């Protein structure tokens, strides 16, 4: 097996990994729909969906480990004699097995999309209860729309977010694509990435700090649909 073939296989795996992430987002959306349909009650299917999310998180972590191991082993082989290619498979298998053995339940529950799933369900339940208690239907619609426009704006792009993520350190939101580009640019310069929200004291944002905010994404989509009808 040539190194070019290995690179092609890794590319296919990473594309599959993107599909896994999309599937996890869909499961989260369905779970939110169930909570909203139950008026704040926990639907029995939520537990099954959480188990599904955890399985997806496990598969995602395994792909990450496998890709990392293959890249490491192939980079080592590339500097050695051609005969080293014959032990490539065994080396990958050995190191991958060691990495998987260290994968814990805590690691899975700290997966960004698992955290996002739990936060989304919790926030949906809290919102449903608040609406029931405070009769939110009587809020002035113009004020609600004005507030949503502010909340929906990315501090980096200054336009409405498409895929909002929440910084778990300072709780500020950004559009995922914009903040990841900023983090990558700063890190490539060997610099820390400061939160772009004016006045925020968070001076070191990392990709691991970002959690997809499914609730906010749904509100943005609802806001867009409302705007298209008016």
**How confident is the model over 123-170, as pLDDT tens digits?**
888 776 665 555 445 544 444 444 444 478 999 999 999 999 999 999
212 to 35, 42, 119, 167, 225: CA distances (angstroms) = 18, 22, 9, 9, 21
Is the Cβ–Cβ distance between 200 and 177 less than 8 Å?
no
Confidence of residue 40 (pLDDT cuts 50, 70, 90): low
**How confident is the model over 82-94, as pLDDT tens digits?**
666 677 788 888 9
**How confident is the model over 197-225, as pLDDT tens digits?**
989 999 999 999 999 988 888 888 887 77
Rounded CA-CA distance 7/13 in Å is 10
Residue with tokens 């009808």: 229
Rounded CA-CA distance 50/173 in Å is 24
Q: Is the dihedral of CA 73, 79, 80, 82 positive or negative?
A: positive
Regarding pTM above 0.75, the answer is: no
């Amino acid at each position: 097996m040539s190194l070019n073939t290995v690179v092609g296989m890794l590319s296919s795996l990473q594309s599959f990994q993107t599909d896994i992430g999309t599937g996890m987002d869909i499961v989260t959306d369905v779970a939110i729909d169930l909570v909203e349909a139950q008026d704040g009650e926990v639907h029995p299917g939520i537990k099954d969906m959480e188990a599904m999310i955890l399985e997806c998180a496990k598969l995602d972590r395994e792909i990450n480990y496998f890709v990392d191991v293959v890249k490491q082993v192939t980079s080592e082989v590339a500097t050695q004699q051609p005969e080293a290619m014959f032990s490539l498979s065994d080396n990958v298998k050995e190191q991958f097995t060691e990495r998987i053995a260290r994968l814990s339940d805590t690691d899975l529950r700290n997966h960004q999309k698992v955290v996002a799933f739990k936060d989304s369900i919790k926030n949906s339940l809290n919102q449903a209860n608040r609406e029931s208690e405070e009769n939110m239907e009587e809020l002035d619609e113009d004020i609600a729309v004005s507030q949503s426009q502010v909340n929906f704006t990315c501090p980096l792009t200054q336009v409405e977010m498409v895929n909002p993520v929440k910084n778990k350190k300072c709780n500020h939101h950004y559009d995922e694509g914009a903040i990841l580009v900023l983090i990558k640019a700063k890190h490539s310069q060997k610099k820390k990435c400061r939160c772009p929200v004016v006045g925020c004291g968070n001076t070191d944002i990392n990709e691991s700090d970002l959690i997809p905010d499914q609730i906010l994404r749904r509100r943005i989509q609802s806001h867009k649909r409302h705007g298209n009808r008016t």
